[in-house]
Structure 1
Amino acid sequence: MTATPPTTTARAPRRTVLIAYGVLIAIGAAFAVGAAVSYPLLLENSQVGPGLMPLVAGSALVLVGLLLVRQELTTGSVLEGDGAAVDTSGEDIAKRRRTHRKLLSVMGLTVVAAALIPVLGLLPVMSMLVFVLSVFVERRPWWQALLVAIAAFVVAYVIFVAVLMTPLPFGIFNPDVWSRL
């Protein structure tokens, strides 16, 4: 007697997932087309124009959306909680509470950070948020959190201020504020 391999049923693409991916593609295309039509991609002095970043981001979103559609059409995707009933009766209640507490902490700290940006500036607030989330939510050692926060500050400064020359809110750290005193 020969053993036959178990048969696997081919999954049909899920319509709702394809629609969601289609929305991602449409949003990406809208950003890309809007950037290309409304803003210059390059400035006269060969610097990056304001339309290049939304064009690249929109194009990347279109590409990712197309890859996700292809994946759904060929193999499908299954994620935890993705349309399947999940039995949570054995799940630790304390673990669920910790997860909810973390989620609420992140949301609350993000709202506080957004309120502090006009006062302290984007980069310092972002760095403080990274530090606080790392130490108090993720329970990392303070020195690791400090290194990550400093690295986030430096990388964001180099990308947005030095390379892209994007005007960011600097709050009280704006040199114009101190020059008027």
Structure 2
Amino acid sequence: MAQHDRLAGCLLILFGALVLWRASGFPSMAGLAYGPGLFPSIAAIGLIGCGAIIALGARRPASRDTSRSESTTGTSRRRANARMASLLGVVLGYALLLEPLGFHVASLLLVVAAARIFGLPWGRCLLLAVPLVVAVHALFYSLLHVPLPWGVLTPVAW
């Protein structure tokens, strides 16, 4: 497992470096302090950082506990597979509902659903989702001027 983590971390670092290199070649825009390469550069730096954390944090697998039964391992594996399938379903649902519902409603539902899949209580899901959606809206719509679909909230769009 540690070798796979090191490999995945190194691949993330390489991919982040490639994105950073390509984003540095984007042309600058007149009248703006930042250009179209800003967001890809930020994402690339995040990829490089996450890759380094994964690669450097990879350890040898701990000794297996022999008291753990095979059925418990099978159950936890099925639970993990169900969680992964649920997340894929949530992302697919987000892609399908983004236009009709709009960014705000669809993103709120996505974050709440993903948090519930990982076992967060409803109250904490909302405490996570509402500020996150507002912050992403402020970043993309207000600061970077990226048009976001309003969907059902079109009558109150600003």
Return the TM-score normalized by structure 2: 0.70
Identity over aligned residues, as a percent?
Answer: 25
Structure 1 position 164 matched with structure 2 position 150: no
How many Å apart are 1:128 and its aligned residue? Answer: 1.2
CA distance in 2, matches of 1:160, 1:89: 49
CA deviation vs aligned residue, 1:38-62 (integer Å, no higher than 9, x gap): 332xx33234221112123224434
Unaligned runs of 5+ in 2: none
CA distance in 1, matches of 2:123, 2:52: 41
Structure 1 position 105 matched with structure 2 position 86: yes
Distance 1:32 1:78, change over 3 A: same
CA RMSD after TM alignment:
3.5
Which range moves more in the overlay, 60-69 or 158-167? 60-69
Unaligned runs of 5+ in 1: 1-12
Larger radius of gyration: 1
CA distance in 2, matches of 1:101, 1:17: 22
CA contact (8 A) 1:48 1:164 kept: no
Q: Which amino acid aligns with 1:51?
A: G
Return the TM-score normalized by structure 1: 0.63
Structure 1 position 149 matched with structure 2 position 129: yes
CA distance in 2, matches of 1:125, 1:77: 35
Structure 1 position 120 matched with structure 2 position 101: yes
Distance 1:133 1:61, change over 3 A: closer
How many Å apart are 1:28 and its aligned residue? Answer: 1.4
The residue correspondences of 1:70-85 to structure 2 (distance < 5 A) are 71=56, 77-78=58-59
CA distance in 1, matches of 2:60, 2:147: 40
CA contact (8 A) 1:105 1:137 kept: no
The residue correspondences of 1:59-78 to structure 2 (distance < 5 A) are 59-62=45-48, 65=51, 71=56, 77-78=58-59
Structure 1 position 29 matched with structure 2 position 10: no
CA contact (8 A) 1:123 1:153 kept: yes
